[in-house]
Copies of this chain bind each other. A is one copy, B any other.
């Protein structure tokens, strides 16, 4: 048994059982991968993959049992490297953060800047994606840290820690009727065409829930993945916007006015997620702390240690 065999199996399971693709991902030849898998199956005396003729189609029952263990081993191998590099390389390495647009655009820049000054020799990668894409990046190990308001807490394989709480605001072009100082209600809001986030992004679930709760059906004319697009269309007069409070900036968004809407929509919690069982580099913990000061290295360490079980409990 060797690690290359395990990697081949894991990658095959991940990439839809296409060994040609696996070979490319592992920078090796396709027959090589084929052999690695066969050899492991022979050694364990089980078939991990079901084969339709020559093609792999899916996991067998033994394969389903064995795969989580293989993933744990490979993850621990990664942890081993990380732990070691914390002693040797100290402040060199890589840190990959996956975040939604909102976070990348408004919440992260400060922390990223501080981090780059503190750890100039760490290559920092920032991936942007939907909350579910972020979760997938974390689970596959392609990203170390994920930040989003939605979805992250739903995944068994992730540990999601609350970072900060925020509320939505309603925006409209200056001089718009909505900005007349009258109290803002859902009823009134529902009278206008609305521009806001797509479902699954940046607290959209709370927006939908609030309207549904009152039995109202808002007229959403444009839904976008980010506040910048929303603001652009609101400025054009397409409708009124609902965006995250932190996405509105009086200085920059001079043509718009904003009203706090924390009383209309449930408060949102932005979460930071890490795959269970992951051992983060020291600088990654440091980044987390600068981003969310409540998440001290000790707190994160404790959360991860508590979370080591369940990785394949039934």
Q: Taking beta carbons and an 8 Å cutoff, which residues of A are in contact with B?
A: 1-3, 44-46, 61-62, 65-66, 69-70, 72-73, 76-77, 79-81, 83-89, 279, 301-302, 305-314
Residues of B within 8 A of A77 (CB): 1, 73
Within the oligomer, what is the number of copies of this chain? 2
Residues of B within 8 A of A1 (CB): 3, 77, 80
Residues of B within 8 A of A61 (CB): 87
Q: How far is the CB of A86 from chain B (nearest CB, A)?
A: 8
Residues of B within 8 A of A3 (CB): 1-3
The 8 A-B pairs at the shortest CB distance, nearest first, are namely: A44-B84, A305-B313, A45-B88, A308-B309, A62-B87, A73-B76, A46-B84, A69-B80
Q: CA A76 – CA B313 in complex, angstroms?
A: 15
Q: CA A183 – CA B84 in complex, angstroms?
A: 66
Are A301 and B279 touching (Cβ within 8 A)? Answer: no
Q: CA A3 – CA B306 in complex, angstroms?
A: 27
Query: Please, which residue of chain B has its CB at the minimum distance from the CB of A70?
Result: B80
Q: CA A241 – CA B2 in complex, angstroms?
A: 56
Q: CA A84 – CA B63 in complex, angstroms?
A: 9
Are B309 and A45 touching (Cβ within 8 A)? Answer: no
Assuming the contacts A65-B87, A69-B76, A88-B46, asked whether A305 and B314 have C-beta atoms less than 8 A apart, the reply is yes
* Sampled A-B contacts (23; CB under 8 Å): A1-B3, A1-B77, A44-B80, A45-B84, A45-B88, A45-B89, A46-B88, A62-B88, A66-B83, A66-B84, A69-B76, A69-B79, A69-B83, A69-B279, A73-B80, A301-B314, A305-B309, A305-B310, A305-B312, A305-B313, A305-B314, A307-B309, A308-B313
Q: CA A302 – CA B309 in complex, angstroms?
A: 11
Assuming the contacts A72-B76, A73-B76, asked whether A85 and B308 have C-beta atoms less than 8 A apart, the reply is no
Query: Please, which residue of chain B has its CB at the minimum distance from the CB of A73?
Result: B76
Assuming the contacts A76-B76, A79-B69, asked whether A62 and B84 have C-beta atoms less than 8 A apart, the reply is yes
Residues of B within 8 A of A86 (CB): 65
Residues of B within 8 A of A70 (CB): 80
Q: CA A313 – CA B248 in complex, angstroms?
A: 42
Q: How far is the CB of A173 from chain B (nearest CB, A)?
A: 54
Are A44 and B305 touching (Cβ within 8 A)? Answer: no
Query: Please, which residue of chain B has its CB at the minimum distance from the CB of A69?
Result: B80
Q: CA A103 – CA B96 in complex, angstroms?
A: 54
- For the complex with contacts A46-B84, A65-B87, 5 further pairs of A-B residues with Cβ separation under 8 Å are A44-B88, A73-B80, A301-B314, A308-B309, A308-B310
Q: CA A1 – CA B78 in complex, angstroms?
A: 11
Q: How far is the CB of A77 from chain B (nearest CB, A)?
A: 6
Q: CA A195 – CA B311 in complex, angstroms?
A: 50
Q: How far is the CB of A102 from chain B (nearest CB, A)?
A: 33
Q: CA A308 – CA B310 in complex, angstroms?
A: 8
Task: Determine which residue in A2, A73, A301, A311 has the highest number of CB atoms from chain B within 10 A of its CB, and name it.
Answer: A73
